Amino acid sequence: MYVRGVGPRVAEMLAAKDIQTAEDLLYHLPFRYEDRQNPRSLDELQTGEMASVIAEVRGSILLRTRKAPIFELTVGQGRLALKCIWFNGSYLSGKFHAGQTVAVYGRVEPSRSSSNLKMIQPQFEVLPDASDDADTRLLEVGRITPVYESLGGARLASRWQRKTIFNLLEGVRGAVPECLPKELLARLDLPDRETALREVHYPPEGTPFAQLQAASTPAHRRLIFEELFFLELGLELKRRRVRKRTGIAFATSDKVREALREVLPFHPTVAQKRALGEIVTDMRKPSPMRRLLQGDVGSGKTIVAFQAMLVAMENGYQAALMAPTEILATQHFLAARKLLERSSRKPRIVLLTGSLDEDRKRQTRAQINCGEAQLVIGTHALIEEKVEFDRLGLVVVDEQHRFGVLQRFKLMKKPNQAEPDVLVMTATPIPRTLALSLYGDLDLSVLDELPPGRTPIVTRRVAGERAEEVWDFVRKQVAQGRQAYIVYPVIEGSKDDQPELDFSHDEPETAIEPPPKKPKTARKGKTADLFPKTAQEANPGAKSGLKSAVEMHEKLRSGPLSDLRVGLLHGRLDADEKEIIMRRFQRGEIDVLVATTVIEVGVDVPNATVMVVEHAERFGLAQLHQLRGRVGRGEAKSYCILMTGPRVSPLAEERLNAMVRTQDGFELAELDLTQRGPGEFFGTRQAGLPEFRVANLVRDRQLLEVAKIEAESFANNASAQVTEAERTRVWARLKDSWQRRYGLVEAG
């Protein structure tokens, strides 16, 4: 379609921004608005606020300083003036003339030289005057004006977009096809597509400004809903497709039920029963299970997974459990042995990790291949060692392995065999609505209840100087027969690779084992000030002033904790050493375990009641929550002591306060999510999070929930009021948008 203002050259520039069609351009929404109906007066500005001001140019000057030229613009209203400053501002000289009207937008700062206010590097626009054409005046003066991210230099900045989009909207008046059913829009009270597009660019007079800035006008909501609806509809289709494939229909005879009862060491919680019920229902179906088991730290996911694996084994199939770390794999292995000892069948359990010697690996692979090994527990090695199973029935995977891995599990079964069931476990308490979207092609079971008898963990924040008191407290707890963890952000002060110090995401262990194929590159984006140092930057430890596990282990056991049995655990120990230390701690032969975040995930020693974290300000919220989750696992009262260094950033402050305030993993996850944004929270784009044009998963989660429900009901043909023509249009649009927008990872 021909769009005024878009010739071949511009089209090329737009294509570079992924804008290929007129529709793409219409969905390029303003990122903010300027209220030019009621401009702010200079005397009502407050320092610190973001404000948009319309004023007259008084004068400008280019100051040549030693460093960089500074461009200073003075604008005024009556007797009041505002100074605007741009560093390296030579490019601005000649741009402004006294008497012009300009709109500036920026943070209001106090000005040192006078009682006037100033703005540093504000966005600005010279407003049209009588010499400009009528269109421009119409679009930019005396109304709510949209402001756009530039689509290519100064040429395709806001002004160009305003005009082009305005013309485009005029050109398509009455001709924008609706892509959602009328009945649905009416029910949700959302405007039609054309109205929404028009009003989102050119808000009608009287639109509440706050609503515009929050992207919550009916027009915004309509477009956001539309995008989320098609996301959810696509996910729903994926789920349906999996349901059509051939899996294994496991039987749950009385014998199987009896086997499940045999191994239970305690009464399951209501949530555990419900989750197992949902899992087993899936397993009985002839299509492959794709289910996510989500539960906060300590909610008891392990036993549920073991029971599911038992169902597979009782049916004559093999089950595999893939853990994110060797420590955890080993722990699961030991726990499985203990648990399944109670079973009358005594299944054969093997452990396969990367650090086993070649002979052991070969032997284990052979046992798996001939079917002798019924339960296989391991790390990533399960995939890397090209294990071929005899009859794989169920795979339980930790979420960290989800991406790209599920596909490869198909390779682990022999050809012509049915697809194994897959259960993904996640310890991250992802807010439900987000789980629905990120793992939208999985069905969801939630453990929303902790096993009985847990007492809340007392969490305290303590300045580093009070360490002596902390060690006293640790000694007292040990004297009462308890155990403690003391966690440090780095392994050793002087080494140059410190995998554990990878604060930018929450699975530090993956950097340690299995041997990473590609070196992890530091992630771009806004992590810099949140998790201040990357591994490289924080070294050497001496310079950064960070205490390390190795050094503090030495200090503590020869100093304040010399009368206790102090152990050391970190990711650089080899697997045997790790296993020995873990076992000794589990058996109570070690009182205090000095460690890095290797213990973050899943380690389960109920007698440990104290978690001390040094440099707590350096850790992410999810990490702190996971670490705290290592205590409070038994009946005894537990403590989490967050020790901080001298400098704590405002964001770290917020994290620590949240830790002290609440133990609710979901609440902490929400804060984590707002601090880091979905990309970081889930660990990169590769997590399969689609790129949205309009929606924002954090901001729009309520609409996401609605979209999910509506997409399901649409796919089920639930409403008779939706016409055939409407259905056809929805499907056509889905195909189009799904292919273009969401390169979602296949769930296998």
Q: Which residues bind ligand ADP (CB under 6 A)?
A: 266-269, 272, 295, 297-303, 427, 451, 602, 604, 606, 633
Q: Are 529 and 650 in contact (CB under 8 A)?
A: no
CB atoms within 10 A of CB 479: 11
Give least dist CB 298 to ligand ADP, A: 4
Nearer CB in complex with ligand ADP: 240/267: 267
Nearer CB in complex with Mg ion: 128/629: 629
Nearer CB in complex with ligand ADP: 448/577: 448
Strands 101-107 and 50-63, bridge-based pairing: antiparallel
Q: 3-state secondary structure string, 432-495?
A: HHHHHHHCCCCEEEEECCCCCCCCCCEEEEEEHHHHHHHHHHHHHHHHCCCEEEEECCECCCCC
Nearer CB in complex with ligand ADP: 299/504: 299
Nearer CB in complex with ligand ADP: 427/438: 427
Q: CB under 5 to 8 A by kind: which of Mg ion, ligand ADP, none does 31 bind?
A: none
Nearer CB in complex with ligand ADP: 301/365: 301
CB atoms within 10 A of CB 170: 10
Q: CB under 5 to 8 A by kind: which of Mg ion, ligand ADP, none does 489 bind?
A: none
Q: CB under 5 to 8 A by kind: which of Mg ion, ligand ADP, none does 76 bind?
A: none
Q: CB under 5 to 8 A by kind: which of ligand ADP, Mg ion, none does 353 bind?
A: none
Spatial distance between the Cα atoms of 673 and 433, rounded to a whole number of angstroms: 13
Nearer CB in complex with ligand ADP: 301/615: 301
DSSP 404-436: HHHHHHHHHSPTTPPPPEEEEEE-S---HHHHH
Of 605, 600, 575, the residue nearest 590 (C-alpha): 605
Q: CB under 5 to 8 A by kind: which of ligand ADP, Mg ion, none does 655 bind?
A: none
Spatial distance between the Cα atoms of 118 and 103, rounded to a whole number of angstroms: 14
Q: Which residues contact 113 (CB under 8 A, 6 or more apart)?
A: none
Extract long-range pairs of 551-555: CB within 8 Å, 24+ residues apart: 551/492, 551/493, 552/486, 552/488, 552/594, 552/614, 553/594
Q: CB under 5 to 8 A by kind: which of ligand ADP, Mg ion, none does 295 bind?
A: ligand ADP
Of 613, 606, 608, 625, the residue nearest 669 (C-alpha): 625
Of 247, 248, 236, 383, the residue nearest 324 (C-alpha): 383
Nearer CB in complex with Mg ion: 75/669: 669
Q: CB under 5 to 8 A by kind: which of ligand ADP, Mg ion, none does 269 bind?
A: ligand ADP
Nearer CB in complex with Mg ion: 437/626: 626
Give least dist CB 688 to ligand ADP, A: 24
Give least dist CB 425 to ligand ADP, A: 8
Give least dist CB 600 to Mg ion, A: 11
Nearer CB in complex with Mg ion: 242/309: 309
Burial class of 157 by CB neighbour count within 10 A (0 to 12, 13 to 18, 19+): middle
Q: CB under 5 to 8 A by kind: which of ligand ADP, Mg ion, none does 588 bind?
A: none
Q: CB under 5 to 8 A by kind: which of Mg ion, ligand ADP, none does 181 bind?
A: none
Strands 421-426 and 290-295, bridge-based pairing: parallel
Give least dist CB 321 to ligand ADP, A: 12
Nearer CB in complex with Mg ion: 207/302: 302
Q: Which residues contact 359 (CB under 8 A, 6 or more apart)?
A: none
Q: Which residues contact 465 (CB under 8 A, 6 or more apart)?
A: none
* Helix or strand holding residue 607 (H, E): none
CA 609 to chain centre: 29
Nearer CB in complex with ligand ADP: 224/351: 351
Binding-site ranges for Mg ion (CB under 5 A)? 302, 602
Give least dist CB 261 to Mg ion, A: 22
Write down the residue that tokens 């796919």 correspond to. Answer: 715
Give the number of residues written for the chain.
748
Q: Are 108 and 51 in contact (CB under 8 A)?
A: yes
Q: CB under 5 to 8 A by kind: which of Mg ion, ligand ADP, none does 663 bind?
A: none
Residue nearest to ligand ADP (CB): 300
Give least dist CB 603 to ligand ADP, A: 9
Q: Are 116 and 81 in contact (CB under 8 A)?
A: yes
CA 41 to chain centre: 41
Give least dist CB 269 to ligand ADP, A: 5
Q: CB under 5 to 8 A by kind: which of ligand ADP, Mg ion, none does 299 bind?
A: ligand ADP
Give least dist CB 656 to ligand ADP, A: 23
Q: CB under 5 to 8 A by kind: which of ligand ADP, Mg ion, none does 298 bind?
A: ligand ADP
CA 567 to chain centre: 34
Nearer CB in complex with ligand ADP: 311/328: 328
b/e sequence 482-513, b meaning 16+ C-beta within 10 Å: bbbbbbbbbbbbeeeebbbbbbbbbbbbbbbb
Give least dist CB 615 to ligand ADP, A: 24
Residue 302: phi, psi to the nearest 5?
Answer: -55, -50
Q: Strand 123-126's sheet: what is its strand order? A: 109-110, 117-120, 80-87, 70-77, 50-63, 101-107, 123-126
Residue nearest to Mg ion (CB): 602
Give least dist CB 422 to Mg ion, A: 17
Give least dist CB 665 to ligand ADP, A: 10
Nearer CB in complex with Mg ion: 393/602: 602
Give least dist CB 272 to ligand ADP, A: 6
Give least dist CB 325 to ligand ADP, A: 13
Q: CB under 5 to 8 A by kind: which of Mg ion, ligand ADP, none does 25 bind?
A: none
Q: CB under 5 to 8 A by kind: which of ligand ADP, Mg ion, none does 272 bind?
A: ligand ADP
